[in-house]
Chain A
Amino acid sequence: MSDYMTALPEIFLLSMACVVLTVDLFLKDSQRNITYLLSQVSLGLTLLLTLAYQPHGTQLAFNGTFISDLMSVVLKCFVYVVTMGVLLYSRRYLQDRGMFKGEYYVLGLFGVLGMMIMISAYSMLSLYLGLELMSLSMYAMVAFCRNSKRASEAAMKYFVLGALASGILLYGMSIIYGMTGSLNIIEISRSLAEQGSSVGVLLGLAFIVVGLAFKLGAVPFHMWIPDVYHGAPTAVTLYIASAPKIAAFAMTMRLLVEGLGSLQADWQTMLMVLAVLSLGLGNIVAIAQSSIKRMLAYSTISHVGFLLLGILAGTGEGYAASMFYALTYALMALGGFGMILFLSRKGFEAEELDDFKGLNERSPWFAFMMLIILFSMAGIPPTVGFYAKLSVLTAVVNVDLIWLATVAVIFSVIGAFYYLRAVKMMYFDAAEDQSELQPCLSFRFALSANGLTVLALGLFPAGLMALCAAALNG
């Protein structure tokens, strides 16, 4: 396969994003649905291309700066599917608020392109380019609703902190480059295995870990998450909260595990600190939130803690568990924020927890869907969240870090409180808002499919788990 064929999905999506950008210029506001459909079609076709041209084994391209393997295929496919869900869920929200503009879709597509490059990057340079492409798109999306003070503030914070984090990451990368003489992941890995650990390498490692921690949103580099999630329009929050986590997981895997794998003993301890802090702070502070968007933001932080647990276990089992966690968390986050969009309507943001009161009276079916998603986030069987947590914990226990597993379980128990409180509000409190739910059929259908997938994956997790294991160990 030639280099260009290996990167065909990326090239295709780039062209399509440009096409969407151009086409959108010539559309009237009333024709904006064309932009929407074109974006969805682009993502769908990229999905098909990715599947059709998937490599046998590992395929390197562009002088080893780009990789295509089973892991990249699986992660990318999830990114497409989740993003398609995001576009579908957010359409009506954007229409109701006069934000149904081409920019959302173009930026969204470029963001996806960035994620794809992050997933497939095999050199620190391409990795950084992908990361910046994604981040810049997201900064712009947060600020997308220019009139909103809150959104602008969030975008500003996000941008400044993101730039700081990027700088730190880049600094770390440059130190590693200085120590190993290469930007290429394989070369770095080879060189480090020879020279072993040194102060210089550790310095670089620490900076890289901080950069990664910011992108993932691990404590104490999480500060942007609550403010950005809360400040951004919900449609954008939905975008930021779901697919980018998959890309961030890929970046962590490429950099830490594949590139700096020989320093595992060092980064294991660092991640441990980050994981415990994230689990603790995320779960505890989420309890004090009254806004569901902020609550889910803190919940994200705690989930990142779990994600890190699997990686720091440092075994194939742990990586697979972590990947499973990242994929299923993206689905849960999609459903959770999707539910907020579902309840919102023109002139009304269903952002407060109280807006979920009595949902069961208004729509028993969607209350049930939300129940599944919340149960899954809390890790209650038979939803997929339980299995994801279980496999991560098993991996951690298998490397004799029993105390860490215990801490994780205790914080999960504390965390279960705020998920269950939301469930209690849906089922046992009287509804304050009796207005009819408006979403269209496709939204209803997609949200139901989303909830049921979370349930079905919990009942039959073996297939996806085997796929994750194969992707990482194959």
Chain B
Amino acid sequence: MENLYLAIPLAPLVGAILAGLFGHQIGRTASHWVTILGVGTAFALSLVAFNHIVFDGGEVFNQSVYTWMVSDGIRFEVGFLVDTLTVMMMCVVTGVSLMVHIYTIGYMHDDPGYQRFFSYIALFTFSMLMLVMSNNFMQLFFGWEAVGLVSYLLIGFWYKKETAIYANMKAFLVNRVGDFGFLLGIAAVLMYTGSLDYDTVFAAMPSLVGQTIEIIPGSPWDVITVICILLFIGAMGKSAQVPLHVWLPDSMEGPTPISALIHAATMVTAGIFMVARMSPMFELSETALSFILIIGATTALFMGLIGMVQNDIKKVVAYSTLSQLGYMTVALGASAYSAAIFHLMTHAFFKALLFLAAGAVIIAMHHEQDIRKMGGLKKYMPITYWVSLIGSLALIGFPGFAGFFSKDAIIEAVHHSEIVGASYAYFAVMAGVFITAFYSFRMFFLVFHGETRMDEETKSHCHECKPVVTVPLILLAIPSVIIGALAIGPMLFGDFFNGVIFVDPSRDVIAQVGEHYHGVWSFVLHGLSAPAVYLAFAGIFSAWFIYLKRPQLATLFYNRLRPLHSLLEKKYGFDEFNAAVFGGGSLKLGNLLWKFGDIKLIDGLLVNGSAKAVGWFSGKLRHIQTGFLYHYAFAMIIGLLLLLTWFVVR
């Protein structure tokens, strides 16, 4: 199996290299073929691996395949850990990636950077696979940074666009903050366990319970809590949790297929995956779990609220992604790791679907993204209409759709959780259900129903997209409906994650939920009797009433609630705060250091000053070389005499 596992990440890498370095030689068509073949191969082999591990009960593969270096007893290795969690992630990553690749043929058809784009997304697939397949922290960090790099490159893909450059710089900087925490976390792991290997680290963790570290003298902190929170700060950056979420909405400046693949389905869930992978560690610190729970709940609720006032079709989906990432984080905090991963999977499908559908709308509207200028698209784009409906229903948790199972499981799990912050989180996720339904259907109604508000020019060109665009939509719509019902039994309440995810028995909320689980249908029926579903219905109804039935209400609310509205429109002022305090502060500091430290001290005194001094000295010293023989001889004699007096006479 080792060769097969090795082939899975390498196939997309080969595609990326061919399309990236030789894109102009082999041409556009060949470029998309090599990358699609690479990713397709990876997907097919991932399915084989999935079958091998899950259905045939194959051995968990945990081996290093290459030793990079051994330094001071620490081994830096490339290694794979392939278990149920990994194969599931591999299938999701390669599957969604394959769909996005195909979709891109249509979406990027006229773009001059066609080959570059394919190279990047194939490179992304490679990096993400390295991240999820890793069996050690070093490779995890490699994948973590590599996906970050590709994300950065793709947000700024249209590098001549001012806003895109701003957005990718922002993503880069914010992720730096997260990654710094992550790196410190890894360093702390290395310091306390002496190893980077998952197995060794997890085995060593229980012995660290009760140890403290004094970062600030006089205040001892629990080592495990410090490590977990540092690692989670990394996850906050990558998975866009408050307050490090600010980069994700801006990342929508990138091409839409990227928003689907990287900023919705896969990369942003890396943080969720990482915490689930590290469950044996996080379970040892309830403080860290509470921290995670509160951050997640805040993200889930407040980011959803912003989604309600957005008018850019991609921004709405982006805020919905933030909110759903919050749900996953809440599940992690409540120790319901399997529910988080389950939601990650269903979300990957329906969110990719929603993004790609939004992309289809954008193509049809000739790159108009304002939903106030759309409306009534149902009759122009029937396929897109239906898949968007499926995606939205899955997102809001309509009974029977994929999102219903995963979201309901999270809500139930939080309900059972007893750690600090659980009641706040429960309130946040319940309120979030209404909000999700409201903004999803607000967008849905404004885009597809009601009167057409676009101009005649656009209207005359508006039509359904080509099959390369619609086929991936349909292929993604299928799992968005059924994957929840299929997977809930084994993944949440079966033994799918046995030996992979570790939960302290005192906090095993999923087991408590599982006591009432008697199959898919009873879960649906039980869901119908719970408040969450009605909140979702209420959300749909409000959206329908306000935006379709009585459009004047929207204006009324807008006028009445203007302060609240503007608060939401300003996204709580995070951007302004960051720009003023961190941006402005570092600019001022930088200016100061530049003017004083760099120009005066380093350039002026040290560099130019010493250069001038040496030059002057050199000019003086060269005159020793007079050219007169007797001077030379004299110098030799003097030298000899000095040596003699110094060493002999002494």
Identify the A interface with B (CB < 8 A).
156-157, 160-161, 164-165, 168, 199, 202-203, 205-207, 209-210, 213-214, 220-221, 223-224, 226-227, 266, 269-270, 273, 281, 284-289, 414, 417
Asked if A220 and B638 sit within 8 Å, CB to CB, the answer is yes
Q: Is the interface of A mostly helix, strand, loop or mixed?
A: helix
Q: Given known contacts A203-B644, A220-B638, A270-B647, is B615 in contact with A288 (CB within 8 Å)?
A: yes
Q: Which of B224-232, B271-279, B447-455, B620-628 is found at the contact surface with chain A? A: B620-628
Q: How far is the CB of A36 from chain B (nearest CB, A)?
A: 34
Tell whether B68 is near chain A: CB-to-CB under 8 Å.
no
Q: How far is the CB of B85 from chain A (nearest CB, A)?
A: 44
Please, what's the 1-or-0 string for B638-650, where 1 marks a CB less than 8 Å from any CB in chain A? 1110011011100
Asked if A206 and B643 sit within 8 Å, CB to CB, the answer is yes
In the complex, chain B residues whose CB is within 8 Å of the CB of A287: 614-615, 618
A-B contact pairs, 6 of them (CB 8 A): A157-B632, A202-B648, A210-B639, A227-B625, A270-B643, A281-B621
Identify the B interface with A (CB < 8 A).
611, 614-615, 617-619, 621-622, 624-625, 627, 629, 631-633, 635-636, 638-640, 643-644, 646-648
**Bound CA–CA A168/B646 (angstroms):** 17
Q: How far is the CB of B346 from chain A (nearest CB, A)?
A: 53
**Bound CA–CA A417/B619 (angstroms):** 15
Q: Which residue of B lies closest to A226 (CB)?
A: B625
Q: How far is the CB of A342 from chain B (nearest CB, A)?
A: 27
In the complex, chain B residues whose CB is within 8 Å of the CB of A266: 647
**Bound CA–CA A224/B631 (angstroms):** 11
**Bound CA–CA A281/B614 (angstroms):** 11
In the complex, chain B residues whose CB is within 8 Å of the CB of A224: 632
Asked if A223 and B625 sit within 8 Å, CB to CB, the answer is yes
**Bound CA–CA A200/B621 (angstroms):** 35
Q: How far is the CB of A230 from chain B (nearest CB, A)?
A: 10
Partner of B622, one of A223, A273, A288: A288
Q: Given known contacts A203-B644, A206-B647, A287-B615, is B627 in contact with A220 (CB within 8 Å)?
A: no
Q: How far is the CB of B331 from chain A (nearest CB, A)?
A: 51
Q: How far is the CB of A152 from chain B (nearest CB, A)?
A: 13
Q: How far is the CB of B623 from chain A (nearest CB, A)?
A: 9
**Bound CA–CA A165/B611 (angstroms):** 36
Partner of B625, one of A164, A209, A273, A285: A285
Q: Which residue of A lies closest to B644 (CB)?
A: A206
Partner of B621, one of A156, A202, A269, A284: A284
In the complex, chain A residues whose CB is within 8 Å of the CB of B627: 227
Q: How far is the CB of B501 from chain A (nearest CB, A)?
A: 48
In the complex, chain A residues whose CB is within 8 Å of the CB of B636: 161, 164-165, 168, 210, 214, 220-221, 223
**Bound CA–CA A287/B617 (angstroms):** 10
In the complex, chain B residues whose CB is within 8 Å of the CB of A210: 636, 639-640, 643
**Bound CA–CA A241/B407 (angstroms):** 81
In the complex, chain B residues whose CB is within 8 Å of the CB of A281: 621
**Bound CA–CA A458/B617 (angstroms):** 33
**Bound CA–CA A281/B622 (angstroms):** 9
In the complex, chain B residues whose CB is within 8 Å of the CB of A161: 629, 632-633, 636
Q: How far is the CB of B603 from chain A (nearest CB, A)?
A: 16
**Bound CA–CA A289/B627 (angstroms):** 15
**Bound CA–CA A269/B631 (angstroms):** 26
Asked if A199 and B632 sit within 8 Å, CB to CB, the answer is no
Asked if A209 and B618 sit within 8 Å, CB to CB, the answer is no
Asked if A206 and B640 sit within 8 Å, CB to CB, the answer is yes
Asked if B639 and A221 sit within 8 Å, CB to CB, the answer is yes
**Bound CA–CA A203/B643 (angstroms):** 9
Q: Which residue of B lies closest to A266 (CB)?
A: B647
> A-B pairs with the 4 shortest C-beta distances?
A223-B632, A220-B639, A288-B618, A287-B618
In the complex, chain B residues whose CB is within 8 Å of the CB of A203: 644, 648
Asked if A199 and B648 sit within 8 Å, CB to CB, the answer is yes
List 20 other contacts, CB 8 Å, given A168-B636, A206-B644, A284-B614.
Answer: A161-B633, A203-B644, A203-B648, A205-B647, A206-B640, A206-B643, A209-B643, A214-B636, A220-B635, A220-B638, A221-B639, A223-B625, A227-B627, A269-B647, A273-B643, A284-B617, A286-B618, A288-B618, A288-B621, A288-B622
Q: How far is the CB of B649 from chain A (nearest CB, A)?
A: 8
Q: How far is the CB of A260 from chain B (nearest CB, A)?
A: 13
In the complex, chain A residues whose CB is within 8 Å of the CB of B638: 220
Asked if B633 and A288 sit within 8 Å, CB to CB, the answer is no
**Bound CA–CA A376/B614 (angstroms):** 22
In the complex, chain A residues whose CB is within 8 Å of the CB of B640: 168, 206-207, 210
Asked if B643 and A164 sit within 8 Å, CB to CB, the answer is no
Q: Which residue of A lies closest to B626 (CB)?
A: A223
Q: How far is the CB of B297 from chain A (nearest CB, A)?
A: 53
**Bound CA–CA A207/B641 (angstroms):** 10
In the complex, chain A residues whose CB is within 8 Å of the CB of B643: 206, 209-210, 270, 273
In the complex, chain B residues whose CB is within 8 Å of the CB of A213: 639
Q: How far is the CB of A210 from chain B (nearest CB, A)?
A: 5
**Bound CA–CA A285/B646 (angstroms):** 26
Q: How far is the CB of A12 from chain B (nearest CB, A)?
A: 37
Q: How far is the CB of B219 from chain A (nearest CB, A)?
A: 39
**Bound CA–CA A273/B621 (angstroms):** 18
In the complex, chain A residues whose CB is within 8 Å of the CB of B615: 287-288
Q: Given known contacts A287-B615, A414-B614, is B633 in contact with A202 (CB within 8 Å)?
A: no
Q: How far is the CB of B627 from chain A (nearest CB, A)?
A: 7
Asked if B625 and A160 sit within 8 Å, CB to CB, the answer is no
Q: How far is the CB of A252 from chain B (nearest CB, A)?
A: 16
Q: How far is the CB of B621 from chain A (nearest CB, A)?
A: 5
In the complex, chain A residues whose CB is within 8 Å of the CB of B639: 210, 213, 220-221
Q: How far is the CB of A163 from chain B (nearest CB, A)?
A: 10
Q: Which residue of B lies closest to A289 (CB)?
A: B622
**Bound CA–CA A288/B621 (angstroms):** 9
Partner of B633, one of A160, A285, A414: A160
Q: Which residue of B lies closest to A218 (CB)?
A: B639
**Bound CA–CA A258/B215 (angstroms):** 57
Q: Which of A199, A207, A286, A287 has the most CB of B within 10 A?
A: A287
**Bound CA–CA A434/B65 (angstroms):** 56
Q: How far is the CB of A282 from chain B (nearest CB, A)?
A: 11
**Bound CA–CA A199/B645 (angstroms):** 11
**Bound CA–CA A160/B629 (angstroms):** 8
Partner of B619, one of A205, A209, A288: A288
In the complex, chain A residues whose CB is within 8 Å of the CB of B646: 273
Q: Which of B611, B636, B646 has the most CB of A within 10 A?
A: B636
Asked if B618 and A206 sit within 8 Å, CB to CB, the answer is no
Q: Which residue of B lies closest to A221 (CB)?
A: B636
Asked if A285 and B629 sit within 8 Å, CB to CB, the answer is no
Q: How far is the CB of B503 from chain A (nearest CB, A)?
A: 52
Q: Which residue of B lies closest to A277 (CB)?
A: B639
In the complex, chain A residues whose CB is within 8 Å of the CB of B629: 156-157, 160-161
In the complex, chain A residues whose CB is within 8 Å of the CB of B611: 417
Q: Given known contacts A161-B636, A164-B633, is B648 in contact with A285 (CB within 8 Å)?
A: no
In the complex, chain A residues whose CB is within 8 Å of the CB of B619: 288
Q: Which residue of B lies closest to A223 (CB)?
A: B632
Q: Which residue of B lies closest to A198 (CB)?
A: B648
Q: How far is the CB of A4 from chain B (nearest CB, A)?
A: 39
Q: Given known contacts A202-B647, A206-B644, is B632 in contact with A285 (CB within 8 Å)?
A: no
Q: Which residue of B lies closest to A286 (CB)?
A: B618
**Bound CA–CA A281/B640 (angstroms):** 18
